[in-house]
Chain A
Amino acid sequence: MTDFLNVLALLSNFAIVPGLAYGSQLALGALGVTLVYGVLRFSNFAHGETMSFGAMATILVTWALQARGISLGPLPTALLALPVGIAITIGLCLVTDRLVYRYYRQEKTQPVTYLIVSVGLMFLLGGLIRFIIGPNDQVFNDGTRFILKAGTFKAMTGLDQGLAIKTSQSITVVTAVIIVCVLFWFLNKTRAGKSMRAYSDNEDLALLSGINPERVVMVTWIITGALACIAGTLYGLDKSYKPFTFLQLLLPIFASAIVGGIGNPFGAIAGGFVIAFSELFVTFAYKKVLAYLLPSGFAPDGLVQLLSTDYKFAVSFMILVIVLLIKPTGLFSGRTL
């Protein structure tokens, strides 16, 4: 029995709790990708860098606040800076739409051209970010680091295995739940949200109903910018902020959106958790788990790891390939919001 509880604590500590946090971050990122795809009908490769830009903006504001001695006590100061970061990121999205995407929209360009344009924008933003904040790791997480420490958990339960929950992990999950609820309320209950879904469903009929496409596009960018900034900041809080990681993050984010069915917000969330948990469980070292479960003396010598953590991005890639082969529309058939 104790062995079993130990296994449970072990899995929670190294896979389930980090998975929930990472899944929430991916879900928020994938929601942005899915919204842009659902309304503007192209895969926005610049989304990763938009997240990075949002995180960077939040970090800069956080530093400014910290320099003035303002803090949130046990919570990271970044939460206080987040609204400003969101506003800046929304501004960035609206400016890029105005300067770049609007031209191609008026030209009624093919989706593949949009895609290439977004790749260009991705490199531009990436350069801009490294120019402003530099390519190095930035730690901006302050406040209490853990809400549950491994040692405290051990003392509480008397188990050998500790369970630690970071403040950033719980903030990530709580924020993601709130954001997702607000987003679904917006899409399903408000006039602007319904018009977004209508436009995504049938562009021509939306025009016939008097829905203004430019307005729908604007609202989409506002939401996408907010989501990107929140996702980027949460990821930075949880791990650390390094501009380069957001380029790598693009793969799991797109995998999440596609696995769930690109264009479908519900699918983006489900996809985020599928990818996050797959990554963690495939790269998890099961040695200790087996040591607890197998009779003594049978414990394996190796790490019993299916895949080294260096290859974690291969997991998203594999899932992506499998889904595209078996069910190209994704778990929840996509296309419309």
Chain B
Amino acid sequence: MSFLIGKEMSAGYGGSDILHTCTIGVEQGEIAVVVGPNGAGKSTAMKAVFGMLPLRKGSVLMGDKDITHLKPQERVRYGMGFVPQNNNVFTSLTVQENLEMGAFIRRDDFSDTLTQVFDLFPVLKEKRSQAAGELSGGQRQQVAVGRALMTQPQVLMLDEPTAGVSPIVMDELFDRIIEIARSGIAILMVEQNAKQALSIADKGYVLVQGSNRYTDTGSALLANPNVRKAFLGG
């Protein structure tokens, strides 16, 4: 039983289901990666776990507590952080204000967390008084991840954190993500760059048409000839 698990979820927009009894989960301090072809329902699965999409069947459990009926905002208070794929920063606010807004629900002094985020992403400290909309794609992603970390979540969910960034920046981001996981946070993420993502993953889920096709450790999936041939380009 994983720390956070979306169990046998069925959900969709409008009448038909996109997810069919799909299960994804992650342990504390581990990285779980969801991969699959376009339209496999990866982002939908993330939204379902975060409560942005009502489940028709199945449940979401965190630390053995059923959180299926919590609204996304309530899940944030419950210790979940979510970085959406698009529009994931406040473009007209400065970097520092973005991070402060991330800590909005905290009434205590969050300067320690702010320092931690600046240590993790030093470039953000340099650009703290610049508007987030003026930053490069990679730096924006760092702001987005930093914002989600400000609540000190137990689970961090990332929807394609490396979308639209250069390969060098991508490696850098993956390094940071490993660092975050080492601090004990569970990381559940969707990735287009399946090979690299699986290579850092403790657990991998291959989704096809809204259902689990393969579920294994990251390295086992990378070694699996069927997975390689069908999803990783040989």
Contact = CB atoms under 8 A, between A and B. Distances in A.
Interface of A: 191, 194-195, 197-198, 201-202, 204-212, 336-337
Contacts of A201: 90-93
Contacts of B147: 209
A210 B147 CA distance: 12
A211 B103 CA distance: 10
A241 B45 CA distance: 60
Closest 10 pairs between A and B when the two form their complex, measured CB to CB: A210-B105, A201-B90, A336-B92, A198-B101, A201-B92, A210-B76, A209-B104, A198-B90, A209-B101, A210-B104
Interface in B157-204: none
Contacts of A212: 73
Interface in B70-109: 72-73, 76-77, 82, 84, 87-93, 97, 100-102, 104-105
Nearest to B50: A208
Which residue, of A191, A207, A208, A336, has the highest number of chain B Cβ atoms within 10 A? A208
A208 B89 CA distance: 11
A153 B151 CA distance: 63
A194 B73 CA distance: 18
B61 to A, nearest CB: 21
A209 B82 CA distance: 9
A202 B84 CA distance: 12
A194 B92 contact: no
Contacts of A194: 93, 97, 100-101
A208 B76 contact: yes
Which residue, of A201, A205, A207, has the highest number of chain B Cβ atoms within 10 A? A205
Contacts of B93: 194, 197-198, 201
A204 B105 contact: no
Nearest to B86: A204
A211 B92 contact: no
B137 to A, nearest CB: 17
A327 B127 CA distance: 30
Interface of B: 72-73, 76-77, 82, 84, 87-93, 97, 100-102, 104-105, 147, 151
Contacts of A211: 101, 104
Given A194-B97, A194-B100, A195-B104, A207 B72 contact: yes
A309 B8 CA distance: 73
A206 B97 CA distance: 12
A204 B104 contact: no
A197 B102 contact: no
A209 B91 contact: no
A285 B119 CA distance: 65
A308 B204 CA distance: 75
Nearest to A203: B87
Contacts of B77: 210
Contacts of B76: 208-210
Given A197-B92, A205-B84, A211-B101, 5 more contacts: A205-B89, A208-B73, A208-B84, A209-B102, A212-B73
A38 to B, nearest CB: 10
Contacts of B104: 191, 195, 198, 209-211
Contact of B87 (A191, A195, A205, A210): A205
Contacts of B97: 194, 197-198
Nearest to B107: A191
Nearest to A208: B82
Given A195-B104, A207-B73, A209-B104, A202 B91 contact: yes
29 contacts: A194-B97, A194-B100, A194-B101, A195-B104, A197-B90, A197-B92, A197-B93, A198-B90, A198-B93, A198-B97, A201-B91, A201-B92, A202-B90, A202-B91, A204-B84, A205-B87, A205-B90, A206-B101, A207-B73, A208-B73, A208-B84, A209-B101, A209-B104, A209-B105, A210-B104, A210-B105, A211-B101, A336-B91, A336-B92
Contacts of A209: 76, 101-102, 104-105, 147
B73 A195 contact: no
Contacts of B73: 207-208, 210, 212
A201 B90 CA distance: 6
Contacts of B88: 205
B34 to A, nearest CB: 19
Contacts of A207: 72-73
A227 B102 CA distance: 29
A211 B102 CA distance: 9
A154 B73 CA distance: 67
B176 to A, nearest CB: 20
Nearest to B144: A205
Nearest to A213: B73
B105 A202 contact: no
A195 B84 contact: no
Nearest to A336: B92
A194 B103 CA distance: 12
A212 B105 CA distance: 10
Contacts of B72: 207-208
B98 to A, nearest CB: 8
Contact of B151 (A198, A205, A206, A210): A210
A102 B88 CA distance: 27
